[in-house]
Amino acid sequence: MSHDHSHGHGHSHSHGVSADADRRWLTIALVLITGFMAVEVVVGLVAQSLALISDAAHMLTDAAAIVLALIAMRLAARPPRGGYTFGLKRAEILSAQANGLSLLLLGAWLAYESIERLIDPPEVKGGLMLVTALAGIVVNVAAAWCLSKANRSSLNVEGAFQHVLNDLFAFIATAVAGLVVLLTGFTRADGIATLIVVALMVKAGVGLLRESGRILLEAAPAGLDPEALGAELAAVKGVAEVHDLHVWQITSGQPALSAHILVDRGGDCHAVQAEIEVLLREGHHLDHTTLQVDHAAAEGHCLEPHGQVYRSV
């Protein structure tokens, strides 16, 4: 006899309120960034500063990242229908992937341009650089604060936040470079500042790709060891064997688990199932679970189990 059980999520209303708040904060950040970006492009061309132009280019990707995040949030909020039984929740993970990749591509272009400028530095107007960079710091602090108010446990929001945060670092580096140019005339400071920002962009981009890639590849949530969990479930009183144990994330912050549990002959399947569900929910924050529970003597189940088999000692 088998028992299939799954927990749904009963937080749709509160989640909807939170999502609406997230969208508001992202929209405010978007308005701040696009308004300043237009000004910076003009000033960067006048000052002939690659650091300023690169900051403006980065701000363009910031704006694109936020727009992509907003679109992904709309898609993820759609209810499941047709063949999409989980809905479009992973649209947010695809958005995080796109944000990570754009950081790496933009970083590669800026690295090339900055090295060229280190070899043959153009005349740079340090005063304009400094003033514009200081204004950019204010705008990006405001935008980063707005995004920090949104739910950063979502990789989608985190991707947009990383874009803006790296842009803030870029403006700080540009301000320092502008001050150096203004005081010493050392124009290569412009290219050096850009290379520092490139390093930060690569670090953030790789992190986003790694975390979103884990979700797309159905890896277990970070910090959760499936082998240790399997051994823990097999140690529950009355459990003879655990196999077909799968732990993954539907999207960031939404882990799920499925497993086939074999109970000792004569054991109470319902009681074992209830105990395991409590253990998973309270011990590991896994409340979206699907457990198939059978007696160990039952025939015809999982002749070839997928993955490791865990047995009580």
Same domain flag for 54 and 96: yes
Query: Which tokens hold the place of 146?
Result: 């707005």
Same domain flag for 205 and 295: no
d(CA 192, CA 3): 63
Residue 190 predicted with pLDDT over 90: no
pLDDT band at 103 (very low <50, low <70, confident <90, very high): confident
Same domain flag for 181 and 254: no
Same domain flag for 210 and 236: no
Same domain flag for 281 and 210: no
Number of domains in the chain: 2
DSSP secondary structure code for residue 307 in this structure: S
pTM: 0.77
Mean pLDDT of 90-111: 88
Same domain flag for 175 and 253: no
Same domain flag for 272 and 135: no
Q: What tens digit of pLDDT does each residue of 143-168 get?
A: 989 888 887 778 888 888 888 888 88
Q: Which of 181, 146, 153 is nearest to 49 (CA)?
A: 181
Residue 257: inside a domain, yes or no? Answer: yes
Buried b (16+ CB within 10 A) or exposed e, 238-268: bbbbbbbbebbbbbbebbbbbbbbbbbeebe
CB 262 within 8 A of CB 295: yes
Residue 58 predicted with pLDDT over 80: no
pLDDT band at 306 (very low <50, low <70, confident <90, very high): low
d(CA 220, CA 240): 24
Over pLDDT 70: what percentage of the chain? 88
Domain boundaries, position 305:
226-311
Q: What tens digit of pLDDT does each residue of 205-230 get?
A: 898 899 999 999 999 998 899 999 99
Enumerate the β-bridge partners of residue 241: 262, 311
pLDDT number for residue 75:
86
Same domain flag for 212 and 234: no
Q: What tens digit of pLDDT does each residue of 236-267 get?
A: 999 999 999 999 999 888 899 999 999 998 88
| Three-class SS state of 95 | helix
Residue 203 predicted with pLDDT over 50: yes
pLDDT band at 62 (very low <50, low <70, confident <90, very high): confident
pLDDT number for residue 2:
46
Cα–Cα distances (Å) from 302 to 242, 244, 281, 299, in that order, read 11, 8, 26, 9
Same domain flag for 135 and 239: no
Residue 181: inside a domain, yes or no? Answer: yes
The enclosing domain of 276 has a CATH number of: 3.30.70.1350
Same domain flag for 209 and 233: no
Same domain flag for 233 and 159: no
Mean pLDDT estimate for the chain: 83
